[in-house]
Amino acid sequence: MEPDQAASAQTGPGATETKIHFKVTRFIMEAGVKLGLRSIPVATACTIYHSFFTATVAPGPYDPYLVAMAALYLAGKVEEQHLRTRDIINVSHRYLHPQSDPLELDSHFWELRDSIVQCELLMLRVLGFRVSFRHPHKYLLHYLLSLRRWMNRHSWERTPVSAAAWALLRDSYHGALCVRYLPQHVAVAVLYLALHCYGVEVPAHAQAQRPWWQVFSDDLSQAQIDQIVLDLIQIYTLDAEIS
Amino acid sequence: MRESGAGRCGLSGLRCNSAPFPLPGEGGLWRVLLPGYSSEASGCCAVWVAADGMERDLLRQALGFHGPALLSLLRTEQHDNPDFRGLLPPGGPSLEPPREAQHQPPARKEKRIDNIEIQHFIAKKADLLFALSWKPSVSTDSESNEENEDCYAVMPPLEQFMEVPSEDRRELFFRDIERGDVVIGRISSIREFGFFMVLICLGSGVAREISQLEITALCPLRDVPSHSNHGDPLSYYQTGDIIQAAIKDIDRYHEKLTISLHSSALPPRLSTTKLGVISSEDLPLHYRRSVEVASTSETYEKVLHHSLGFANPAVVEFLLGKLGLSESSPPSLMRGLQSKNFNEEDFAFALRKKQSASWALKCVKIGVDYFKVGRHVEAMNEYNKALEIDVQNVEALVARGALYATKGSLNKAIDDFEVALKNCPTHRNARKYLCQTLVERGGQLEEEDNLLNAQNYYKRALILDETFKEAEDALLKLRKHMQVILYFLLTLSTTIKTPIKNIGKGEIIYWLLRLILLFPLFTTHLSQ
């Protein structure tokens, strides 16, 4: 059915590595919800995670879950929603050992805490201290606002395009789209897919001189949008394979 | 199935003899149709049975856009889903391509590989995409007038960048405009029956590029509020004035608008808008930006990046509120991330509480061990440590209270016990110790002759535990004591017969004391 899709999963990181990264980014997203993190810090954490494993040999000697915990801690600092290591350790421990009791305040706990802090420093050095990213979220929200004003208000109200686009954007962090593509392009592609899901036509799309997605990001082409959308759908296929 | 003649399939718009008509007004009920029921059927795909729990209109729209291929995919993917019952099982009659040209909007492109991929995706996620719970929440300020540049980047209308031809802009304007919308225009001529104005822009959250469309609106005389008791209300206005008005009536077919300057024409959410003459500084920000862009022809992205509001650190939260999205239960299309699957106990807050209680308990245990061997100072340290970790920890409070009581600081002990009991009303030790300490304190007060307070303490102990024998005994004893004093004072008062002039200071104090003491005693004595 999709020989090209199977091939694209092999190129770049291997299939097992992609699966590991998927699982660990799923962990980051779940932990983000349980820690009360907003969308942007979660996105930063995932981006840091993906960038780290793009820059180093993956997964190498690094425990991906530890890297994820350190990424969460660092992202909280970068995006001004500070997390306590104690909370991160509690949530992660519970995630990895379901239904267990929280850890006692013993040497094991302090060792874990030390590991997180050390890993954080390592990540900062690997990433060259460049941990501030431009995310698609701001762009997507402005695009949604512009589109909302152009569309008929009733058809907008009954079609959850915003919710679908936001969900697609959040889920896209399971893969490394954030690292491979520009934030504006990702935002446009996500919006494109959301509109297609509900069969929404942008008014006067055919009669306009420029298609709406070209307006939002003028260096974008239809082929690029298609590619990003394909990658995004591929992430969901991976989800179905793993679970 | 309703019998009917030739009609149009609501899905593909094709003529089909077998299809009863899905009329949107009929509760959205559609009928299932198998192509091939009637030899004159045009091979249209199945019309939809009301899928309960799903947004039928949305489904219909998506199916209309993607065509029959999506329908067959949906059947395959969702045949287990009870919300999609009415779907035929896979292996139903094969769908023939309609013989007529597709009733699709001209913008639809030819089938490409990724269109199939997208349709696969939609089919797999249909139960999430079309679930009713995803209906966007109508946020209260979704159409507010606030174009606050500091909060987000206010952009010119999209169609300006898309360069939509004016006929289409005009058509869409007259399709989407509604009564109660605020419009801004310039007076072009004043007649005796009202004035005409040419519209410049819109003002109530709907933003369109209409300044070149030469749309005129009429404001009849009766909709112009009078500014003085006599004279023509229209004399207040001049050609060229910029006016903000509300749409009163729309004739979409003839493209005629009637506007009003009375605030009664405004909907409730916009009732504070000022109607009438405005200055050019009051023109909405999106319009002013639009004028700038028309002259500089900047791209959307450039305008976005140059906006101050785009750099606002809180822009994401602000726009999420405007669009009605939530950060606390974010939407997701991954099955594992649906918020209803998350357990409250796994959240950081709950885990921290549990952990704090456990750590505090350890400290308390150590403290109790110290207490038993008489090392009170170390014990107090441990209890305080425990209470720092977990401020409301019941065990720590009870233990500390017991330590205070032993050392004689009865008031502090009582405070601790009370807080502990408030947090955990069923804690037996807390109740027991509190009663004992209250009685002990009462005894102390009795010895200091502070009889009323003592009585209060005994009463409190009895309220907490009605069966507490010691409190009962102490209370009875106290009351007897008070009765004795009372009679003593009474007999004293009857024997003293002193003229008022000779009353010395000490005696005045004595009488005052007697009065103060006797009056409440009388009342309690009487109430017994």
Under 8 Å between Cβ of B433 and B461:
no
Say what the pTM is.
Answer: 0.78
Nearest residue in B to A156, CA atom: B136
**Three-state secondary structure call for residue A62:** coil
Q: Summarize the confidence of residues A20-32 as an average pLDDT.
A: 93
Check residue B223 and give its pLDDT: 86
Q: Summarize the confidence of residues A57-78 as an average pLDDT.
A: 90
In this chain, the answer to whether the domains covering A3-126 and A137-242 adopt an identical fold is yes
B120 and A233: CB-CB below 8 Å?
yes
Check residue A194 and give its pLDDT: 93
Query: Looking at the partner chain, which of A142, A163, A184 has a beta carbon nearest the beta carbon of B134?
Result: A163
Same domain? B471 vs B502: no
Mention every residue, 6+ apart, whose C-beta is less than 8 A from residue A152.
Answer: A203, B175, B176
Domain-located, residue B314: no
Chain B hits for A140, Cβ within 8 Å:
none
Superfamily of domain A137-242: Cyclin-like (1.10.472.10)
Look up residue B401 and give its amino acid.
G
Check residue B44 and give its pLDDT: 38
Check residue B528 and give its pLDDT: 52
pLDDT score of B109 more than 60:
no
* Topology (CATH) of A3-126: Cyclin A; domain 1 (1.10.472)
Check residue B478 and give its pLDDT: 83
Top residue of B334, B353, B356 to mutate, by most chain A CBs within 10 Å, is B334
Around A85, how many Cα atoms within 13 Å sit in the side-chain half-sphere?
Answer: 16
Nearest residue in B to A235, CA atom: B334
- Winning range, highest mean pLDDT, from A203-207, B20-24, B28-32: A203-207
Q: What is the pLDDT of residues B145-176, one digit of tens each?
A: 567 777 888 888 988 888 889 898 998 899 88
Q: What is the pLDDT of residues B489-521, one digit of tens each?
A: 877 777 665 555 555 666 777 777 777 776 666
Q: Summarize the confidence of residues B193-201 as an average pLDDT.
A: 91
Domain of B430, CATH number, reads 1.25.40.10
Longest dimension (CA), chain A: 69
Q: What is the pLDDT of residues B378-418, one digit of tens each?
A: 999 999 999 999 888 898 999 999 999 888 888 899 899 98
- Residue A103 sits at the chain B interface (C-beta within 8 Å): yes
Same domain? B395 vs B357: yes
Same domain? B405 vs B523: no
Where residue A9 falls among pLDDT bands split at 50, 70, 90? very low
A199 and B66: CB-CB below 8 Å?
yes
Which domain does B56 fall in, by range?
A: 10-134
Instruction: Please state, rounded to an integer, the average pLDDT across all residues of chain B.
Output: 77
Chain A hits for B168, Cβ within 8 Å:
203-204, 207-208
Range of lowest pLDDT (A14-18, A124-128, A220-224, B89-93): B89-93
A102 and B358: CB-CB below 8 Å?
yes
Check residue B142 and give its pLDDT: 47
Sequence spans of domains, chain A: 3-126, 137-242
- Residue A6 sits at the chain B interface (C-beta within 8 Å): no
Number of domains in chain B: 4
Axis crossing angle, helix B469-495 with helix B451-464, rounded to the nearest 10: 150
Domain-located, residue B309: no
* CA distance to partner chain B, nearest, from residue A118 (Å): 22
Domain-located, residue B1: no
Check residue B524 and give its pLDDT: 61
CA pair distance A45, A127, nearest whole angstrom: 13
Residue for token pair 């979704």? B142
Axis crossing angle, helix B469-495 with helix B505-527, rounded to the nearest 10: 130
Check residue B1 and give its pLDDT: 40
Check residue B19 and give its pLDDT: 42
Instruction: Please state, rounded to an integer, the average pLDDT across all residues of chain A.
Output: 89
Domain-located, residue B28: yes
Dihedral (Cα; B458, B460, B466, B469), 10-degree rounding: -20
Check residue B459 and give its pLDDT: 84
Domain-located, residue B185: yes
Q: Which of residues 111-130 of A touch B (CB under 8 A)?
A: none
Q: Which of residues 18-57 of A touch B (CB under 8 A)?
A: 26, 29-30, 33-36, 38-40
Final residue before a domain boundary, out of B294, B325, B342: B294
Mention every residue, 6+ apart, whose C-beta is less than 8 A from residue B313.
Answer: A80
Range of lowest pLDDT (A47-51, A219-223, B385-389, B470-474): B470-474
Check residue B49 and give its pLDDT: 38
pLDDT score of B66 more than 90:
no
Nearest residue in A to B162, CA atom: A210
Tell me, what DSSP letter sits at residue A195? H
